[in-house]
Structure 1
Amino acid sequence: MDDKLVLPIIILALATSSSNYYSAAAAAVATEREPPKLIVLELLGRDGDKTSLVVQAHDLSLAGFANRTSHWHAFPSHEHVIPNATVLPFGNSYRDLVGGLENLPSLPLGKDPVLDAIHALSGHDPAAAAADGNVEVALKRGLATLTVTKCEALRLTPIKKLVSEAWERGDTAHLTQEHVGYIEHWDTMCFELLRAHRTGEWDGPFTELLRTSANIHSKEDALAVVNVIIDRTLDQLLLAHARSA
């Protein structure tokens, strides 16, 4: 990958709190005059386990990862983001990884689940995964865990708080249905926040949807939830939701 397009952020999963990277990544997205197109999170786990996650800076979505031998794997349609990567046989949506957003509350979050996820990615071998369905299930679950604990925790303040507190306690936590609503509608909250900033009114086309689906009743509610704001046009927003449906 082109070094000019990459911002490396090191996460020592055994030695440091998972919350340490949030401020660094958020600052990179928010303050760079020309933000890097990619953020690379290097995660170290138990007994030599390691993986690198490639996060797209424009929307904080996961594009792929490298195993401990530095072999890159990209989700379908993300081959251009990680040249020469092996394309994974499934996408990066929660539908592909855990069967849908509704299954996220069953996913344990915390230090041990993150270390288990790093282990699954670190040792990933496409041939072994093709031969043993359990290996692919573990990989998908690991990718979902890291998407929530890294990407969603950077996007959304309540999830960052949940994950960080579980990490500090050394136990596990679970998302609530309210958290799931925040995840599903993060980009919609961003759209309405930017619209309200321009117009001075919280009365956009999706404010009623946010009220009924995410318990967001006002600009203040949205600001309390959203940690990083992205700027999407209406067409981009509709396309993103159509792809994830």
Structure 2
Amino acid sequence: MLLQKLFIMQWFVQVWHKMNIRAVLLVVLLVIHEGAGAGGRPRRPPEQWYKPGTSGSFYVENSPYTDVVDEMKDWIKDQRDKETDDLEEYPDNPVLKKQFLKSKPAHWFLPLLLGRSTTKTNLAFRSDNLYLSGFTNGEGSWFSFETDGEYVIPESTVLGFRGNYRDLVAGGVGTDEQAWTHLIGLAIGRGAVLEAIAVVNGYNPNTTPDADIKRALATLIVVFMEAQRFPYIRQRVHDAWKSENGGSLDALGAEMVVHWKRTSCALLIWATKQDKGDWNSKEARKLMEDPPEGLRIFTPEQARATIGPVLRSEHCSE
């Protein structure tokens, strides 16, 4: 009888031991399954699309405009194309890195604009062309623009319009180069920027009128990035920012925005010439024309004074 009891106890211990092992194996298999994608392959961690990037918080209601744009200007200089000697002797004209529009840029500029009360928006600008790729509303949801196969912020809501002025201010009518006329009179003072932040903060694609969000985004683009491209626009915004009555973009400032690529190409072509008096590229000749076709720019010195950062375009004539 004693032997029989010992046998039963030994059998019970063995079964219990096996059950524990199976339970542990089951837990392990469940953990592996939860961390796997289709076919049992390990899942990739979500893409941290915003890295690498430079960010900063700007209190628009209280900050001097120069504090905001000067910091962004430093961001651009830090992320210039340091592998080229094109125009390197002109620090106010940093050459941007080559664009690969179907891919994430090498770096992001991510200013957080803080407005009245708790209103805010985070903007995402590409470092290779200073174009706005996306923005957040007050809930932190990301939105991006419709594109032709260009890079889109992962898991963002893609809107039914593009981020160019033709869509933002011209109602989708005409060409990109004709849209500048709709920027004339755009309010660019501090109050207008605070109102734009409030619109973007409260943005809901189901309830916010398209015209409102488009106008707000155009305001933020002009005030913060066209002002980097063109010193004239920067000064115009600076004056409006300080004025109690605000201010607006005039015809000359509006005309400039469609000439950034052309002026950049003219300077990059000129930089390759041994004869620095040779200002005769297709782009340079076009710039000599009267506005709006040109900007009455007759020398490389005038061109360098007209723009800040230089866009590296693949569509220059030479």
Using the size of structure 1 for normalisation, the TM-score is 0.88
Question: Greater strand percent: which structure?
Answer: 1
**Of 113, 122, 127, the match for 2:192:** 113
The answer for the alignment partner of 2:22 in structure 1 is: none
Which residue in the other structure is 1:223 paired with? Answer: 304
Gaps of 5+ in 1: 130-134, 239-245
* Residue of structure 2 equivalent to 1:243: none
The equivalent position to 1:26 in structure 2, one of 67, 73, 82, is 73
1:202 aligns with 279
- Return 163-172 or 107-116, whichever deviates more: 163-172
- Count of matched residue pairs: 231
Deviation at 1:71, TM superposition (A): 0.2
Provide Cα deviations, 1:66-91, integer angstroms capped at 9, x if missing partner: 01111000011287341100011111
Higher helix share: 1
Q: In the aligned structure 2, how far is the partner of 1:28 from the partner of 1:111?
A: 22
| Corresponding residue of 2:145 | 75
Match runs of 1:66-215 below 5 Å? 66-77=136-147, 80-99=151-170, 100-129=179-208, 135-199=209-273, 200=276, 201-212=278-289, 213-215=294-296
One-letter code aligned to 1:92: G
CA shift for structure 1 position 175 = 2.0
Distance 2:242 2:145 in 1: 31
Match of 1:214, SS? Answer: coil
Question: How much does 1:58 deviate?
Answer: 0.4
Residue 27 and residue 81 in structure 1: after superposition, are their counterparts in 2 closer, same or farther (change >3 A)? Answer: farther
Find the structure with the greater CA-based Rg: 2
Provide the secondary structure at the position in 2 that maps to 1:20: helix
Report the identity percentage. 27
Unaligned runs of 5+ in 2: 1-47, 84-96, 98-105, 171-178
Matches within 5 A, 1:50-69: 50-69=120-139
In the TM superposition, structure 1's runs of 4+ consecutive aligned residues that sit over 6 Å from their partners are: none
CA displacement 1:185-228 (0-9 Å, x = unmatched): 01111111121122122111111211112221211111111111
What is the root-mean-square deviation of aligned Cα atoms in Å? 1.9
TM-score by length of 2: 0.68
* In structure 1, distance between residues paired with 2:203 and 2:304: 38
User: Residues of 1 paired with 2:212 and 2:53: CA distance?
Assistant: 28
Contact 1:79–1:85 (CA under 8 A) maintained in structure 2: no
Per-residue deviation, 1:26? 2.3
- Counterpart Cα distance in 2 of 1:79 and 1:13: 31
1:241 corresponds to: none
**In 1: Cα distance, 2:242 partner to 2:217 partner:** 22
Residues 12-51 of structure 1: matches in 2 within 5 Å?
12-32=59-79, 36-51=106-121
The aligned amino acid for 2:288 is R
Q: Which moved more, 1:110-119 or 1:79-88?
A: 79-88
Q: Take 1:63 and 1:198, find their aligned partners in 2: how far apart are those partners?
A: 31
Alpha-carbon offset, residue 137 of structure 1: 1.0
Counterparts of 1:88 and 1:79, CA distance in 2: 14
